[in-house]
């Protein structure tokens, strides 16, 4: 890696949000798993070992970054997934089996797609919430008669309570 690309990567990491960092980790795990796969195909076991160990290190970082206090059930499932992928890479390394690496790559790509969709949805929600801060909620609430739960002026978003 050249000094310029190292500086770019360092800046990208230092300025990334936690969600973007997670996506970067998943991308790295995919890239290194693909490197391991190519190594096994070419019988270049040094490249395969390098790719495998780097992908495993990233999986451990993803595993260690889980916050069970925020969402215990989700963390339990992700922990099982990352542990499974880690173990599949161990098995692939022992057997020199590209099919096992392919399983991991497929799961990582699915994880990446899912995470990208979550980031997109979060960005849309944040954008909508930022638009409401300018008084749109207050204007919509003022347009709603107190005895009618249906917004007359059109409620942009938010939560509606039917209990009071």
Q: Is the pLDDT of residue 30 over 80?
A: yes
| Pairwise CA distance, residues 66 & 64, whole Å | 6
pLDDT higher at 154 or 135:
135
pLDDT band at 58 (very low <50, low <70, confident <90, very high): very high
Query: Region 59-68: what's the mean pLDDT?
Result: 94
* d(C-alpha 90, C-alpha 96), whole Å: 10
Place of tokens 């960092």: 21
Calculate what percentage of the chain has a pLDDT beyond 90: 59
* The three-state (H, E, C) secondary structure of the chain, written as one string: CCHHHHHHHHHHHHHCCHHHHHHHHHHHHHHHHHHHHHHHHHCCHHHHHHHHHHHHHHHHHHHHCCCCCCCHHHHHHHHHHHHHHHHHHHHHHHHCCHHHHHHHHHHHHHHHHHHHHHHHHHHHHHHHHHHHCCCHHHHHHHCCCCCCCCCCCCCCCCCCCCCC
pLDDT tens-digit profile of 78-132?
Answer: 999 999 999 999 999 999 999 999 999 999 999 999 999 999 988 888 888 887 7
The owner of tokens 């309570």 is 161
Distance CA 105, CA 117 (A): 18
pLDDT of residue 134: 57
**Which of the four pLDDT bands, split at 50, 70 and 90, describes residue 1?**
low
More confident residue, 30 or 160: 30
Query: Largest Cα–Cα distance of the chain, in whole Å?
Result: 75
Cβ pair 102, 37 in contact under 8 A? yes
Position 81 scores a pLDDT of: 97
Better pLDDT: 132 or 144: 132
From 1.10.150.120, 1.20.120.340, 3.20.20.100, 1.10.3720.10, which CATH number describes the 3-142 domain? 1.20.120.340
Asked if pLDDT for residue 41 goes beyond 90, the answer is yes
Which of 53-67, 84-98, 102-116, 147-161 bottoms out in mean pLDDT, i.e. has the lowest? Answer: 147-161
């Amino acid at each position: 890696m050249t000094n310029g690309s190292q500086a770019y990567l360092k800046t990208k990491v230092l300025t990334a949000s936690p969600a973007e960092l997670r996506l970067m980790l998943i991308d790295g795990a995919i890239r290194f798993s693909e490197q391991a796969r190519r190594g096994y195909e070419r019988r270049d076991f040094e490249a395969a070992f390098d790719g495998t160990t780097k992908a495993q290190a990233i999986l451990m970082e993803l595993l260690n970054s889980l916050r069970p206090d925020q969402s215990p059930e989700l963390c339990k499932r992700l922990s099982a997934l990352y542990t499974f992928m880690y173990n599949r890479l161990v098995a692939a390394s022992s057997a020199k089996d590209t099919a096992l690496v392919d399983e991991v790559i497929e799961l990582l790509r699915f994880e990446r797609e899912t995470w990208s969709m979550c980031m997109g949805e979060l960005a849309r929600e944040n954008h909508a919430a930022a638009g409401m801060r300018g008084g749109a909620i207050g204007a919509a609430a003022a347009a709603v008669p107190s005895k009618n739960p249906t917004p007359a002026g059109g409620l942009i978003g938010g939560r509606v309570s039917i209990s009071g």
